[in-house]
Amino acid sequence: MMESLLEKLKLLEYEHTYCNPNRIKGFSKLHFAIPTNPGEQFNSFVSLSAWLIGQSGHYIEQPQEHDDPNATIATILDSLRTLTGQTPDFPPSKLKSGCGEYCIQVLDLLADTAVKNRNLNYDPPQIEQDDEESLSDRLNIVDRSSQNDDLVEWTVNKAGILPEVRVGICDSEVEAEIEETGDELRPMDLKYLDKSQTNVNEVHGENINSEDPCFVDPHGPFGGLLMGTASYYRSRGGSEGTPDSFSVEPGEWQMEVERVLPQLRIVSRPETKDWRGHLDQVNNHRKEIDSCFKDSRSHLQRLQEDLSRGLDKINSREKYINTQIDQILAEYRCVQDRLCRMKERYNQASGGITKRSKVLTELSDELERVKQEMDQRGSSMTDSSPVVRIKQAIQRLKAENVAMEIRIGVLEHTLLRMHLRAREESQKPLFMHPYPLEEAGGRLLASGSKGGDNKVSY
């Protein structure tokens, strides 16, 4: 299921639209199958699910690392239920690990929905059948190329024949690279391909029934033939078993050769140790150079003469100009010396001006300060507001003095009434009890003396 999921992701071009913007590498076949790092796998699972949901036409917010895993899984399952109409028959907690059968199942369902939404088809390749005349013409071309001892090489691996073609490699280089790479690269020769008893293991590197046809490149060299044989033996594998070898029809094999012929580049086998050929080439090049030099020698000599005459004219003109401008150069030097002297004087004068300008600024500031003080003093001398304030204060004092005198008079009157009431109270016993005349006279005299002491003068 993981292999099928990867194929669907490749159809959706997830490497360009998902991996490159997020700056991550593509997923391997075992990324979601084997638990490695739970946090990393869970983040990869939820981000890829969100991307697939977006490719399916339904938008959800991109999950973040700090989000609640339960809420994120619930959102993904709700979107899956909305897109496919299917309800998962497993608990959501199974998706927290980020790997396993349930995670792959959810991603596969989302990938199917995205493929359907983008109307992508992944039908098997269609092989066109050529007529006999065109087939015979192409066979003649192949025969002629094989008669010329040309070198044709391609590489295969376990998954099938790679689309990359190795060109311009001689026998020694091929043997050296085979020793370095081991079993990954296996050169094959065309002269053994037309035999009827070609083993499947020689083409694939393993038994063809143990490989999935989705790993065979149908557009690569011999991809269509390998796809056909794989499907044939898969259909017969349940009843007849797996054969060790099988026969290929020469016509079908040659048609497949003609189909991939443009991808196979034919180069001639060079001789690296042919020193006589190199010596002949050197002699031929030397003769060609001598013949070309004879034709171009006169042109080069004429060009040399023209250049020498032009240089002589330039030298003579330069000497004439130098003699004419000697006086002008002397005047220019004198003027330049005068300019230097004037610049020095100007610098000195400008230095004195800056000093005097500073002094002038200080004096102007002091003058402004003195003017402000004089203005303040003049305004204070001509201002009559203090006199007005003094008169107002005197009037307020007179009014307060009158009020105090009134209060004093009221207090004296109140005190006099109190003394009179006290005297009346002291005389009441004389009228109520008869005393002898002497005692009454003494008391009157005593009260009279007390009343005289309490008089208040106005």
Q: How many CA atoms lie within 13 A of 425 on its CB side?
A: 6
Quote the pLDDT of residue 454.
47
124 has pLDDT over 80:
no
For 54, 95, 107, 302, the CA distances from 104, given in Å and listed in that order, are 18, 10, 5, 83
Q: Which residue has the higher pLDDT, 43 or 403?
A: 403
Nearest to 448 by CA among 431, 425, 423: 423
User: Which uninterrupted H or E stretch holds 79?
Assistant: helix 69-84
pLDDT over 90, % of the chain? 18
275-324 and 326-382 helices, crossing angle to 10°: 70
Nearest to 1 by CA among 137, 106, 71, 85: 106
Task: For residue range 390-435, list pLDDT tens digits in order.
Answer: 999 999 999 999 999 999 999 999 999 999 999 888 887 766 655 4
Least confident piece of the model among 89-98, 203-212, 259-268, 447-456: 203-212
> What is the chain's mean pLDDT, rounded?
72
266 has pLDDT over 80:
no
Confidence of residue 164 (pLDDT cuts 50, 70, 90): very low
For 149, 171, 270, the CA distances from 275, given in Å and listed in that order, are 22, 20, 12
Q: Is 85 within 8 Å of 70 (Cβ atoms)?
A: no
168 has pLDDT over 60:
no
